Amino acid sequence: MRRLPTLIAAVTAAALAAAALTGSAAPAAAPAPPNVVFVLVDDLAWNLVQYMPQVQRLQRDGTTFTNYTVTDSLCCPSRSSIFTGKFPHDTGVFTNENPDGGFGVFRDRGNEQHTFATALQGRGYATAMMGKYLNGYLPKDLYQPPGWSEWDVAGNGYGEYNYNLDENGKLVPYGNADSDYLTDVVSAKGQAFIRRSAAAGQPFLLEIATFAPHGPFTPARQDLDKFPGLTAPRGPAFDTLPTDAPAWLAGNGPLTAAELQKIDTDFRKRAQAVQAVDRMIAGLRQTLADAGVAGKTYVVFSSDNGFHMGQHRLVEGKQTAFDHDVRVPLVVAGPSVTAGIERPQVVQNIDLAPTFERIGGAPVAADVDGRQLVTLLTGGTTAEWRTASLVEHHGPGTNADDPDVQDARNGMPTTYSAMRTATYTYVEYTDGEREYYDRGSDPNELHNVAGTLPAARLAALHDALTALVSCHTGAACWSAGHVA
């Protein structure tokens, strides 16, 4: 491997010499492929974007996908789909912990060998992973997955202070000083990585995955006085039980005064916590500009899942198939990306890996379930795009060590598969219950009308959902994603 640069130099010199002898011009060097900066936040719902001016600026500069959903509103399954472009039924990761989830299952099933990082590193990219990886990863093990040139990853970084980072095989402790705030630490490391890569003339992919605004919702100290008096939004679904609610939800009574107070307090803390994320986005983009590579870098912002706070009488949590949990922001700006528009196409987190691979000129494997988004980003034809997304969830989870463990008040849905189109959401639970929300007439998902649908319609929905759950290749999943 060490002889490769020497060999390339020799071949180049020979070509130049031949060109001089024949009088022909030397071939033009191929342009360097674009860079990717991917900011992935934890548990961010759409209702926090209004407090993030840098994300709003990114929207003005790029394209926002309004029907972007995750494959599971839970950290590890969603991130596994992002890395691989595959549904949970193909990654094998349905939860945050063994036996059917977590970092160990992701690794042991060979997923780490086939990520967008391995694909782009194979194309000559410098690749960096910073912040949060997968639930169950422990920095003390000093394990670095394949595909990453730089590795600065924490384990239990939810408190933002007093954590360890595995920094390229060295365990580095951080304390309780203002300068130890984790979002700020990975922001600085990300900017340094950009400067080094740009100076070396090497294309790069940087993923910074923050723990913010995941609970315990820890803001940077400089933001603790922000948004005085802010309360959680109280839309039509707030403290409202859907009609014909499934059994796991039907027993929830009205929110108590203490629950309401906690929801308001925590929502304010979440708005405060994303201020550091917003500053990070500004810092990264400024660094790209200063390094002269802003014009050839895609900047991508998204979340691993949403978060409910009082909607549908659920206190604080995720894991449901409701829109507040599965529909999250996806904003992309970069070379030839159409600025200031919204795209309504049904896209998912399985589409990110093939998109990054397409950007980097890497082949997309046939067993990747997702579809590249570059065509949509650059204003290309959008005919025949998929019409349905798939959500797969195993539950209820009860492990007290899981940072996402929930009780009935937070929401403990039983195992389900769900299909979401631009106009409706259909859910099948393993206990036989079903939900159907016509979001065209019921955008807040307050009326489960599955029991009123004709038998033929229910059979067609079941068959369509079964096809999605059963697909295992890009072609099969693309075909299954076209439903009525």
Q: Is 162 left (phi over 0), alpha (psi -120 to 50) or beta?
A: left
Structural contact between residues 89 and 469, judged by C-beta atoms closer than 8 angstroms: yes
As a three-state string, the secondary structure of the chain is: CCCHHHHHHHHHHHHHHHHHHHCCCCCCCCCCCCEEEEEEECCCCHHHHHHCHHHHHHHHHCEEEEEEECCCCCHHHHHHHHHHCCCHHHHCCCECCCCCEHHHHHHHCCHHHCCHHHHHHCCCCEEEEEEECCCCCCHHHCCCCCCCCEEEEECCCCCCCCEEEEECCEEEEECCCHHHCHHHHHHHHHHHHHHHHHHHCCCEEEEEECCCCCCCCCCCHHHCCCCCCCCCCCCCCECCCCECCCHHHHCCCCCCHHHHHHHHHHHHHHHHHHHHHHHHHHHHHHHHHHCCCHHHEEEEEEECCCCEECECCCCEECCCCCHHHHECCEEEECCCCCCCEEEEEEEEHHHHHHHHHHHCCCCCCCCCCCCCCHHHHCCCCCCCCCCEEEEEECCCCCCCCCCCCCCCCCCCCCCEEEEEECCEEEEEECCCCEEEEECCCCCCCCECCHHHCCHHHHHHHHHHHHHHHHCCCHHHHHHHCCCC
How many Å apart are CA 97 and CA 75, to the nearest integer?
11
Tokens matching residue 281: 């986005």
The active-site residue, picked from 75, 76, 471, 477, is 75
- Is the preceding peptide bond at 354 cis, omega within 30 degrees of 0? no
Query: Do strands 63-69 and 204-209 pair parallel, antiparallel, or not at all (unpaired)?
Result: unpaired
Report in angstroms the alpha-carbon separations of 482 from 273, 286, 342, 468.
Answer: 39, 41, 21, 10
Known catalytic residue at 76 = no
Active-site annotation, residues: 75
